[in-house]
Amino acid sequence: MIDFQHVLDTIHQTAQKTDDRGKIADYIPELAKVDKNKFGIHLVNMNQENFSAGDSNERFSIQSISKVFTLTMALGLIGEKLWTRVDVEPSGDPFNHLSLLEFEKGIPRNPFINPGAIVVADVLISHLKNPKDEFLAFVRNIADDETIDYDSTVAASEKQTGFHNYAAANLLKSFKNLENDVETVLDFYFHQCSLTMSCAQLANTFYLYINNGRCRRKNTHLTSGQVKRINALMLTCGFYDEAGEFAFEVGLPGKSGVGGGIVALHPNKFCVATWSPGLNEKGNSKLGMLALEKLTTETELSIF
Ligand code: DON
């Protein structure tokens, strides 16, 4: 039996002693206000036993981690048709790069780079009556937590500086891969990214991806084939141009966000979320990556 609590405590102690914590994302001004010394880690296993250390109950901006939830909802709504509008290949590029999008005629490489996530947001808007409300209700349902909410200050802050995302949405529109107007789609996208959740909430929300598509409320949201697709995309595309490094060092599917969160999972075994706001040069949480590498090395629980 692995003593997860002991492993998390050791990881937390190492994190506390680490000075080089990377750099906080400041291109969204609201994110720059967060204390760089925060560190949280939370793990939930298949039996729904919870283990945590550090600031694991403090909420932060989940940013791109939300792309896993929009993808889940879109797959549930339109199934395999989604792949006619967004591809499933790693990009090897940073999350906000646009050059491939032009080159590949408006079909984003995958649903986790920004242009791909903007297409997924467009799908949700086309299929939902009240997209922001229904998406929030969906996340609360899979999380089994009615307190999760958007942070409208963060959404507004990103809107003010979201020139790259406006460029991406306009390019998608010009290639006829956006059904709704740019403003509506980006308003939804900035809100999904502004969701605030703690490591404990994230780990428990990701439970459905280790449990064959069945969430904590015992509702089935995905077929096992769809879970396979989402987990495969997290492994190959979840960390942008650092996806190879994450698979190499950690060996788990996962997803990062520029708020400093990372969620990773081992199907049928556990989900784990970390939060440390300082990012490395590739835009992924510096201490989060180190913590997860330590977790899978010490427990010998990678998918490989
Ligand atoms: O679109 C953006 O730039 C942000 N809302 C999300 C970026 C992000 O989290 C990338 N992930 N590491």
Domains and CATH numbers, the chain: 4-63+195-299 (3.40.710.10), 67-193 (3.40.710.10)
258 is catalytic: yes
Residues 39-73: tens digit of each pLDDT: 999 999 999 999 999 999 999 999 999 999 999 99
Query: Residue 14: what pLDDT?
Result: 96
* Residue 95 alpha carbon, nearest atom of ligand 1: 10
240 is catalytic: yes
Question: Do 211 and 228 touch, CB atoms closer than 8 A?
Answer: no
67 is catalytic: yes
227 is catalytic: no
CA 281 to centroid of ligand 1, rounded, Å? 14
CA 16 to centroid of ligand 1, rounded, Å? 26
- ipTM score for this prediction: 0.98
- 258 marked ligand binding residue: yes
Ligand 1 cavity residues, CB under 6 Å = 63-64, 95-96, 114, 158, 165, 193, 256-258, 283
Query: Residue 91: what pLDDT?
Result: 86
Query: Residue 106: what pLDDT?
Result: 95
166 is catalytic: no
Q: Which of 67, 159, 173, 286 is catalytic?
A: 67
Question: Do 95 and 66 touch, CB atoms closer than 8 A?
Answer: no
Q: Name the stretches of the chain with pLDDT < 50.
A: none
- 249 marked ligand binding residue: no
| Ligand 1 mutation target, pool 63, 66, 164, most atoms within 8 A of CB | 63
Query: Residue 97: what pLDDT?
Result: 84
- 158 marked ligand binding residue: yes
| Ligand 1 mutation target, pool 30, 62, 96, most atoms within 8 A of CB | 96
CA 8 to centroid of ligand 1, rounded, Å? 27
Query: Residue 98: what pLDDT?
Result: 86
CA 113 to centroid of ligand 1, rounded, Å? 8
Query: Residue 291: what pLDDT?
Result: 98
CA 190 to centroid of ligand 1, rounded, Å? 9
